[in-house]
Chain A
Amino acid sequence: MVFNDIKPKTKRELVLMQQLLASTKTLESARIAFPEKLLLAVTQEMNATKQNFETVIKDIKLYLNNMKSIKVYIAFEPTMKLLDRMYHAFGIDQTERYLEILRDESLVGGVKVVIDGKQYDQTIDKVIYEKCI
């Protein structure tokens, strides 16, 4: 089951969504607490599958739990604009992945990325090291 409309882009968004889903028990309280996109996704799913609120919420939780992260190490806290740029640069719109932004002040410039346990280094440190050696 895929919920592209409500897919979180970052870990922070994922965690917030999970907390919201955990604390909302009824459709009535969801109408108050949920963001518009999330509420719409829930109601659409309920109508499409003829399932009740609890079942749909359970499906969404499962979907969110199965998402995988891309760890990105940068030297400073990114702005929303930069986050968007990074998200699109990765091209993961159609994938079930989110960005986990981790701050590492020792980095001078560029990024370090960890995907499925593999590390990719595109920092200035690496460039300097390669040039010097």
Chain B
Amino acid sequence: MIIEPFFITGLLTVFACLILIVLSLVVLYFRSSRALSALNTEFILYKRDQESQARAALEAATKKAQEIISSTQLFSEETKKWVMDAVSKSIAHGSSTYDQIISDLGAKSIQDLLSYSEGLKKSIESETSKLTEHYENQLKIEEQSFHQTLEKNEEQIFKDVKTKATALLSEILRDAAKKALTEEESENLIVDSIEKIKKEHGFT
């Protein structure tokens, strides 16, 4: 049996091709691996950079928050300290406990506000009581003054009333007289009046 030389050549060629393919795959793998490694390194560096920036921003925000909290008048010192601690803890843990903080703060600040409003209420009550007393006194003074003025002006008031009553009565009498007098009576009245004037004053 004679093995065909072409068969061996062909076989060798196939083996060579296979080896080439494997080699190229290996090269490809190493190259990819290197690129991946570079990317990874780059990513790690980027991440570190971002984290440091984020941390810096958080620290700045914390500092600002602490400034604001410390300057606020609404909360007690104890509450302020608690808030600052909570904010600092949330930064340290790297987790967002904002909602938790707000929730807890809500409970704590309500107590503060209640005590604040209680204090305010007492203060208002005290002021109101003072004001009421003051106005009561003022009212008494005004009342006394009014009575004094009334007594002083009583005479004038009576005089005014009398004048107005007289005017009214006069009006009624005039109307009655107008209706009651006849023509003859009016003429006689005129002549009598002239004679009376002449008698009292005498003129020529």
List residues of chain A with CB under 8 Å of any chain B CB.
Answer: 72, 74-76, 78-79, 82, 85-86, 89-92, 95, 108-111, 113, 115-116, 118, 120, 122-125, 128-129, 132-133
How far in angstroms is the closest Cβ of chain A from B178? 5
Do A89 and B198 contact each other (CB < 8 Å), given the known contacts A95-B204, A110-B193, A111-B193?
yes
CB atoms of A125 and B190 under 8 A apart: no
Is B17 part of the binding interface, using a Cβ–Cβ cutoff of 8 Å?
A: no
Residue in B170, B190, B192, B198 whose CB lies within 8 Å of A91: B198
- Chain B residues with CB under 8 Å of A113's CB are 194, 197
CB atoms of A124 and B186 under 8 A apart: no
Residue pairs across A and B with Cβ atoms less than 8 A apart, 12 shown, are A82-B190, A86-B190, A86-B194, A108-B177, A109-B178, A109-B190, A111-B193, A122-B197, A124-B177, A128-B170, A129-B166, A132-B166
List residues of chain B with CB under 8 Å of any chain A CB.
Answer: 166, 169-170, 173-174, 177-178, 181, 185-187, 189-198, 200-201, 203-204
CB atoms of A110 and B201 under 8 A apart: no
Cα of A79 to Cα of B190 in the assembled complex, Å: 12
How far in angstroms is the closest Cβ of chain B from A90? 6
Among B192, B194, B195, residue most surrounded by chain A Cβ atoms (within 10 Å): B194
Q: Which residue of the partner chain B has the closest CB to A109?
A: B189
Do A124 and B198 contact each other (CB < 8 Å), given the known contacts A76-B186, A111-B190?
no
- Chain A residues with CB under 8 Å of B201's CB are 118, 120
CB atoms of A109 and B177 under 8 A apart: yes
Do A122 and B204 contact each other (CB < 8 Å), given the known contacts A82-B187, A110-B190?
no
How far in angstroms is the closest Cβ of chain B from A33? 33
Cα of A111 to Cα of B181 in the assembled complex, Å: 14
